[in-house]
Structure 1
Amino acid sequence: MPDSPILRMALTPRPVATPPSSLAGVLAFGMPVVDSWLKGGLRRDGVHEFYVAPESEPGAAAAVALLLGARACAGKRPLMWLRIAGGRPSGRPYAPGLVELGMNPDAVLLMEPPDLDALLIAGVESVRHGGASAVVLEVHGRAPRLDLTASRRLALAAERSGAIVLLVRSGAAPVSSAAHSRWEVASAPSAALATKAPGHPVFDLKLLRQRGGPDGLHVQLEWNREQAVFRTPLSGSAPAVPARGTADRRRHRAA
């Protein structure tokens, strides 16, 4: 692994609920319409891509990946978060913000390699030998070195170790990869709480590709920090689920 600085964000640990998963080997979102579409959830020993939606801020995709990573770890093993030093399209890590999401910053290991090559090497090694249940990698820009071969290395390492890999892509269009699923993520309006305080974060997700299953799912998810699950937004907006074979599904199918 490259000689890269590792930051353990120390803060008073906060208990995180152990996420339920309906099937062994999958990571459930906690929202039935999504989990049933995925046949239980995201495959734990695989790679999953989260592309920032056009005209959207990168923070939403990074937040979804981190929250899923926290669910995968369930406070038992660390969450590895890798991003290139100095390249921070989703903003600087902010421990109190992680606490507000119900995460335990003390269980997050942040690694900032100097460049993309070092990031990819560190990512594979973290999946193979890092002892983490989940590894989040943030990559900004086209990143031609993150090609099909590089994604296969990550996928093979995940398959062997059982660690889920959550790859956040910003400033780039989807390309061929070995990912088991590919998503487009944007932030969405949230309903204010009774005290007029900011509401729970809401995310707009589109499933662009799912290996061995249908794509085309379009849904808004609200994060429930107390239960550490995603749920239907409190505003009551219903998820949009296109029928199989629609033009929407064909338009979103990617390599």
Structure 2
Amino acid sequence: MSGARTSTLATLRGAIERLEAGETRHAVARVELGHRGADATLQGGVVRSALHEVFAPETRQTASATAFAAGLAWRCAMSRPLLWVRQDFGPGETGALSMGGLAELGLDPRRIVMVQATDIDMALRVTADALACSALGAVVLDVWGGARQFDSVASRKLTLAAQASGITCLVLRTAAVPVANTAETRWIVRSARSRTRSPWDAWGAPQLDVALVRNRHGQTGQWIMEWMCDECLFREPSAHSQPAAATPSYRPPAPPAVAHRRAG
């Protein structure tokens, strides 16, 4: 029995060492965000079979961080269902997750499954079990507060589960401080001003101030990203938040300018 334990322990240690060294047995699959600068820094996009963290630096930035996590998870899900795990007291702290709001972002609420856990321990168990379900495309673990249970050991378990299944795991953190763990990337998200050109313009597309502060296999950076609700991708902010209307073809040409002389 002791020999079996020793063998199992050696296997786990080897898996952790390969994980920390960035070695994988399978080809790394990446998903482009659509933003050229971010995708170039990420060497083609975010890794699908990995753990990623998204932080709201203040509670008032929760909506922006949630929107970024939702868009990122949606792209990683690759047309498969998305599971969103929240603590049951989360709505009281940051507000309920609005299916109508997600629909306005271009996401299909029918492909989003919500789970409310009584505590962080249950949320971690649900997330780990969900990462073993091949029918899912991505799992979002929505954690409020410090949550000491989400430590380096818990992050290793989720990372190994994501690598084994190929399913992306995103951890959305609010009112928390980043700690050392096995996350492939860590993002800090704030809201950015939409670009409107005149008082009568409608508000522009959602824009986010996104900082990539951890990238295990590359550089970091910071960008303003515009979320395109119709295409469900991020891109560089456009010069105009709304498309400019073309000149009507039936409009008569402007008359030539005529210089007027004073009679004298």
Q: Into which bin does the TM-score normalised by the smaller protein fall?
A: 0.7 to 0.9
Q: Give aligned pairs, total.
A: 213
Q: Which moved more, 1:127-136 or 1:163-172?
A: 127-136
Question: 1:198-224 deviations in whole A, cap 9, x for unaligned?
Answer: 211111111111112122x01010001
How far off is 1:24 after superposition? 6.6
Distance 2:197 2:88 in 1: 37
Consecutive unaligned residues of structure 1, counting only runs of 5 or more, are: 1-22, 237-255
How far has the Cα of 1:191 moved from its partner? 1.9
For residues 84 and 234 of structure 1, do their structure 2 counterparts lie closer, same or farther at Cα, with a shift above 3 Å needed?
same
What does 1:210-225 align with in structure 2 at a 5 Å threshold?
A: 210-215=215-220, 217-225=221-229
Which residue number in structure 2 is paired with residue 172 of structure 1?
176
What CA distance in whole angstroms lies between the structure 2 residues aligned with 1:193 and 1:90?
32
Aligned residue for 2:14?
none
| Alignment match, 1:33 | 37
Q: CA deviation at 1:26?
A: 0.5
Match of 2:13 in 1: none
1:82 aligns with 2:85: yes
- Of 190-199 and 171-180, deviating more is 190-199
For residues 218 and 83 of structure 1, the distance between their equivalents in structure 2, rounded to whole angstroms, comes to 28
Q: CA deviation at 1:59?
A: 1.4
Distance in 1 between residues matched to 2:66 and 2:181, nearest whole Å: 19
- Is 1:104 aligned to residue 111 of structure 2? no
Relative distance call for 1:90 and 1:40 in structure 2 (3 A) is farther
C-alpha displacement of 1:72? 1.8
TM-score normalised over the length of structure 1: 0.79
Tell me which of 211, 227, 231 is aligned to 2:231: 227
SS at 2:106 equivalent: coil
1:63 to 60, 67, 78: 67
Match status 1:157 vs 2:161: yes
8 Å Cα contact 2:131-2:165 kept in structure 1 = yes
Asked if structure 2 preserves the Cα contact closer than 8 Å seen for 1:72 and 1:133, the reply is yes
Larger radius of gyration: 2
Segments of 4+ in structure 1 off by > 3 A? 192-195
**Cα offsets for 1:74-100 (capped at 9, x unmatched):** 43x100111001212442122221111
Between the aligned partners of 2:31 and 2:196, the Cα distance in structure 1 is 29
**TM-score, reference length from structure 2:** 0.76
Q: In structure 2, how many angstroms separate the alpha carbons of the residues matched to 1:138 and 1:100?
A: 20
Over aligned residue pairs, what C-alpha RMSD do you find? 2.0
Residue 136 of structure 1 corresponds to 140
The alpha-carbon deviation at position 130 of structure 1 amounts to 5.9
Rounded Cα–Cα distance in structure 2 between residues aligned with 1:62 and 1:209: 18
Report the CA distance between 1:193 and its aligned residue.
Answer: 7.8
Q: What one-letter code is carried by the residue in structure 2 that aligns with 1:109?
A: V
Contact 1:186 1:205 (C-alpha < 8 Å) held by counterparts: yes
**Which SS does the other structure have where 1:45 is aligned?**
coil
CA–CA distance in 2 between the matches of 1:156 and 1:175? 18
Q: Gaps (5+ residues) in structure 2?
A: 1-26, 241-264
State the distance in 2 between where 1:152 and 1:167 align. 13
Structure 2 match to 1:196: 201
